[in-house]
Structure 1
């Protein structure tokens, strides 16, 4: 036989072996996947008490998930800020002196936070009010047109931080 014929026969045998090996691997992976699927379904369990226990646990699990999702939804609704937190500029005369915090029985609104910040500073013009989370605390960030900022706790109404404007700094 010449070399060319030997090369063709060798290529043919190699292709045949690769096809057989591929078929075996495919058959093995398909049977493994089928085995896993059948072992994880409850209808394969022979004991009726085990099937019943499985179904009860599954129902309790689904109920617990539904309750947890409902609690999360309720919490999200309570935490969702009003859609429009920006307020119109508010001004207060510099001559008025008022307390820096307002006793709150409920969580303050954005407008109340602006009033608290104005009281704290002793006046000014509010540019914007935003509800934010700072260092794990939910606060209203009240920004003034002169660059000052006052952070008001969104739960208690207390001022937790104030950044003075350039004019107010000594």
Structure 2
């Protein structure tokens, strides 16, 4: 499908009129720098372009609740800033955004409530400030490592680099 076809399809699934979908989708595509790609096949898009179309499709109908999994994946730095600002604006308007990510610094900066999960179990629940008040120190990544006991990342990284630099014993 082209971006126009896909967004029209999604919009109509949510009960929007075709003309309203097309109007909104075209404007949103332009705002994210994709105006020239609106009638191009999505299969030809870069990962970042596909991600932008998916973000547009999830917000086209102005939902009260959003479920997003790694929504910044593949986006360039400028687009990340725009999308984070969109999320902040939506949250300020009372929208609920469930945001799943392994990028802890982004979660730390944009989330009003954080749930940390380790092996399917909730190990922490609260704002970043509340997590820090419970005696944890450092960044959200540091807090996660403290809660899960994972402290071998430096050793593993060091060994990884050492193996990269080794000569093969089969030479």
Whether TM-score is above 0.5 comes out as: no
TM-score by length of 1: 0.24
More strand by share: 1
Name the larger-Rg structure: 1
Bigger share in helix: 2
TM-score, L = length of structure 2: 0.24
